[in-house]
Amino acid sequence: YLANNHMQVVNSSSQVIDASSIAWDTYTGSNFPYQIRQTPGSHNSLGWVKFIFPNNYQIYFHDTPTKSLFNRIDRTFSHGCIRLSEAQRFAEYLLRNDTVWTAEKIDQVMHGGKETKVFLKEKIPVFIAYFTAWVDKNGDINFRKDIYGHDKELEASLETYEQEI
């Protein structure tokens, strides 16, 4: 399964471990001393690149090999992370002031099949806004399913506010 899905077992030092050398039945989810990671490449479920930023929820931006998902109205296919429709363009924007990182170099590194960590010279703030209703550029109201249940909290706050008036 691991090999068929381009996955590796790595230890705490990030060294690849032969999966056949592991006594799998001696471990549970809580005492498993390894990590399983998917290798970079076109097969990776996160696409060609991911953008990590500090947060308490292990959320990050990432590419996707399944670009067709952006054509769907319901896009709740990720596990809390944020898929980017134009990940390479986003990388180019983030690195636009770094003369080392040309568009060509970004493309080569992203599609090179080798993990590469790039750190921004200057930190940029990241703000994530969650909307279930909004007005688009055409003036049309859009509604989406509240997959995180935040609207219930907002509704309760509004009801409390109405009672106070």
Count structural domains, the chain: 3
Task: Give the residue ranges of the chain where pLDDT is below 50.
Answer: none
Helices (H) and strands (E) in the chain, counts: 3, 8
> 84 with 61: CB under 8 angstroms?
yes
| Residue 111 and residue 70 share a domain | yes
Q: What residues does 9 pair with on adjacent strands? A: 17, 36
- For residue 101, what pLDDT is reported? 96
| Residue 161 and residue 107 share a domain | no
Catalytic pick from 6, 62, 79, 150? 62
| Residue 46 and residue 82 share a domain | yes
| Residue 81 and residue 148 share a domain | no
| Residue 103 and residue 56 share a domain | yes
In which domain, by residue range, is 161 found? 129-165
- For residue 87, what pLDDT is reported? 93
> 45 with 60: CB under 8 angstroms?
no
Q: Is 107 exposed, middle or buried (0-12, 13-18, 19+ CB in 10 A)?
A: middle
Reported pTM? 0.72
| Residue 122 and residue 53 share a domain | yes
Told to judge if 62 belongs to the known catalytic residues of this protein, a careful annotator would answer: yes
| Residue 5 and residue 25 share a domain | yes
- For residue 43, what pLDDT is reported? 84
Catalytic pick from 6, 43, 79, 81? 81
Told to judge if 81 belongs to the known catalytic residues of this protein, a careful annotator would answer: yes
- For residue 39, what pLDDT is reported? 87
- For residue 110, what pLDDT is reported? 92
- Going by C-alpha positions, the residue among 134, 135, 165, 130 that lies closest to residue 151 is 130
- For residue 114, what pLDDT is reported? 85
| Residue 54 and residue 65 share a domain | yes
